[in-house]
Structure 1
Amino acid sequence: MNTDELLTRESFIELGARERARALLDAGTMRELIGPFDRLASPWLAAQGVVTQADDGVVVACGRIDGQSAVVLAIEGAYQGGSMGEVGGAKIAGALELAAEDNRRGIPTCAVILFETGGVRLQEANLGLAAIAEIHAAIADLRRYQPVVGITAGTVGCFGGMSIAAGLCSYLVVTREARLGLNGPQVIEQEAGIEEYDARDRPFIWSMTGGEQRYASRLVDAYLEDDVEAMRTSVREFMRQGVPAQHRSDREADFLACLARVDATEQARPEAVRAIYQEGL
């Protein structure tokens, strides 16, 4: 990439959730549902001394993508680490359910989910877990009709139960700055020890769960520069491809075969992980 291209590139990562959603939708078509002026905040955080946010850190934006009806669900990673609670989770699940219902009524409606989340909100525990389970079910329902595109741009990443939601998407898009994994670095270090996973070793962490590694391991479908136009173009390309012949989450036999080739007696290495997945997927 030359200097002129760098100067004209607009960062997607630096945008807030609302601006990201607006950037992906066709110009002038965005309409927000249950926005901040509706004051639908978590009823549980204030009781625990946590400052609430009027939209609970989730933006639900309706509009059009490439002329087709679409909903963009953007998680604000800057609020509570993008964690999922009762309200934010219900907003995402409800929007996906309405999109599926639109399709059943003959209105083709696709969805994009912007994953910047550490997973369940610890302050809401089981309520957050239940909300994430509803999101999983809603993605599985909608993807039968229209593509559900997941995006993890950075820098929060996508972890916990929401990484399962990402795995259920029809297509996944990442950047170099993104991270994607079931458990976060601190959790792995806490449970397995620093010898297994040093949460302070950022190059190692990105080498295992970063966007480049996930793309090389064939666990995501597109690896992009941090650029709004590139992200917009990629989303439209996947929407035009339609529902994939087989979703990644339906290939459990392939993934189990990959896991069977892992030597758990040795420290995992990025190049070994890539080789295993590239051979089996």
Structure 2
Amino acid sequence: MTSPPPAADGPTDWTAILARTGFIELDARARATALLDDGTARELCGPFDRIESPWLEPQGVVPQSDDGVIVVKGRLDGRPAVVIAIEQAFQGGGIGEVSGVKIAAALSLAARDSRDGTPTVAVLLLETGGVRLQEANLGLATVAEVCSALLELRALQPVIGVIAGTLGCFGGMSIAAGLCSTLIITAEGRLGLDGPQVIESEAGVAEFDASDHTLIWSIDGGAQRTRTGLADVLVLDDVTAMRSAVIEAMERGVPGEHRSRRIGELRARLEAVDPTDPPAPADLAAVWAHAVPREGDRP
């Protein structure tokens, strides 16, 4: 569902809109808890464990006692699950050594439990600008660990990515998003390897105007990413709708072939775009729909 529900006589049903609870309005801890069955959520490595980055304070940054990543175990529609949520309000959701290790360890433990007879689904709530600049090399190393752990788990159980907004998912963690079994996004969400401001700073405003919100969402926004097949499900910003979408993704199980393994299809899409005359964002889905893999790339 991507638009406000119409009333019986046709106009927008504003009562229904006002009655819903926006998923975007919640912080990371509340988002994680909202997805799990009532009364089953149990946080691991929480703020009272005081597991925080040792690298921020020497650089004049006040650390956070959970390092901006929330790990909550519980049950999702009766099944064991772990929800890993990045807190967008802390350092722009940046990933450092501690926060990255928390994500990777949670995914690895879910894989261990799955192998030991307790199939455990993972849900990643991805609101992040990528690697934390204050911990650049350490952050890059932990993102690699996250991707490795994700690949281990997704062979056993679904790993469901969620990009709700308002920050979006960029940088190294966008690679993790691309590895998920299913990627769910709202119209307000954004997904890209490099953020608009990074592109503008490196290539100039003529390449990407980071102040043009219409341009940004036409390229990186949830509706466009779903149309072009880089995200799987577009959902309304609503807690109930988001939980239903996550449960449906869990019930579909492990896909026969993950998007990241369809190399021929991805190569054909790249070859279909002329970088000297790129298509308008509105035309990209049609261009990619007609992209044909090379003969050797076909199954």
TM-score by length of 1: 0.98
Equivalent residue in structure 2 for 1:142, among 130, 147, 153: 153
CA distance in 2, matches of 1:271, 1:101: 43
Does 2:177 correspond to 1:170? Answer: no
Q: Which amino acid aligns with 2:218?
A: S
In structure 1, distance between residues paired with 2:159 and 2:101? 17
The residue number in structure 2 matching 1:12 is 23
The answer as to whether partners of 2:123 and 2:162 remain within 8 angstroms in 1 is yes
Tell me the residue number matched to 1:153.
164
Alignment check: 8 A CA contact 1:189 1:196 kept: yes
Q: What is the one-letter code of the residue matched to 2:76? A: I
Q: Which runs of 5+ in 1 are unaligned?
A: none
Structure 2 unaligned spans of 5+: 6-12, 293-299
Question: Structure 1 residue 71 and structure 2 residue 82: aligned?
Answer: yes
Paired residue for 1:106? 117
Q: How many residues align?
A: 281
Which protein is bigger by CA-based radius of gyration? 2
Distance 2:226 2:46 in 1: 34
Q: Work out whether 1:97 is the aligned partner of 2:108.
A: yes
Q: Counterparts of 1:193 and 1:67 in 2: how far apart (Å)?
A: 50
Supply the AA of the counterpart residue of 1:5. A
Q: 1:206 aligned to 195, 213, 217, which one?
A: 217
Task: Give 1:27's match in structure 2, choosing from 27, 35, 38.
Answer: 38
How is 1:118-137 mapped onto 2 (pairs within 5 angstroms)?
118-137=129-148
Residues 158, 254 of structure 2: 8 Å contact kept: yes
Q: Which residue of 1 aligns with 2:282?
A: 271
Q: CA deviation at 1:271?
A: 1.7
Helix, strand or coil for the counterpart of 1:27?
A: coil
CA distance in 1, matches of 2:180, 2:235: 18
Structure 2 equivalent of residue 224 of structure 1:
235
CA RMSD in angstroms comes to 1.0
The answer for the alignment partner of 1:195 in structure 2 is 206
**Contact between 1:218 and 1:278, CA under 8 Å: does it hold in 2?**
no
Tell me what 2:9 maps to: none
Q: Give the superposition deviation at 1:231.
A: 0.3
The answer for the alignment partner of 1:182 in structure 2 is 193
2:98 aligned with 1:87, yes or no?
yes
Give SS of 1:196's match.
coil
Q: Is the 8 A contact 1:196 1:267 kept in 2?
A: no
SS at match of 1:124: helix
Q: CA deviation at 1:267?
A: 4.8
**Match for 2:172: what amino acid?**
G
What per-residue deviation string (whole Å, max 9, x for no partner) do you get for residues 36-88 of structure 1?
Answer: 00111100000000011110000000001011110000000011000000000
- Displacement of 1:263 after TM fit? 1.1
Residues of 2 paired with 1:212 and 1:279: CA distance?
Answer: 20
What code does the residue aligned with 1:27 have?
D
**1:122-145 residue CA offsets vs partner (Å, 9 max, x unmatched):** 100110001100000011000011
Any idea what SS the aligned residue of 1:32 has?
strand
Is residue 73 of structure 2 the alignment partner of residue 59 of structure 1?
Answer: no
Conserved? CA contact 1:255–1:280, under 8 Å: no
How far residue 4 of structure 1 moved from its aligned partner, in angstroms, is 2.3
Q: Quote the sequence identity (%).
A: 59
Find runs of 4+ consecutive structure 1 residues off by over 2 angstroms.
276-281
SS in 2 for 1:99: helix
Paired AA for residue 228 in structure 1: V
1:217-256 equivalence runs, <5 A:
217-256=228-267
Give the SS at the match of 1:135.
helix
Q: Contact 2:272/2:288 (CA < 8 Å) preserved in 1?
A: no
SS in 1 for 2:140: helix
> 1:234, 1:277 → 2: CA distance?
26
Alpha-carbon distance, 1:268 to partner: 4.6
Larger deviation: 217-226 or 9-18?
A: 217-226
- Are the aligned partners of 2:272 and 2:291 in contact in 1 as well (CA < 8 Å)? no
* Counterpart secondary structure, 2:71: strand
The residue type equivalent to 2:185 in the other structure is: V
Question: Secondary structure of 2:134's partner?
Answer: coil
In 2, Cα distance between the equivalents of 1:269 and 1:14?
32
Q: Is the 8 A contact 2:153 2:159 kept in 1?
A: yes
Most deviating of 53-62 and 188-197: 188-197
C-alpha separation between the residues in 2 aligned to 1:280 and 1:95?
A: 38
Q: How many Å separate the matches in 2 of 1:79 and 1:210?
A: 22
Name the TM-score, length of structure 2 as normaliser.
0.92
Name the SS for the 1:28 alignment partner: coil
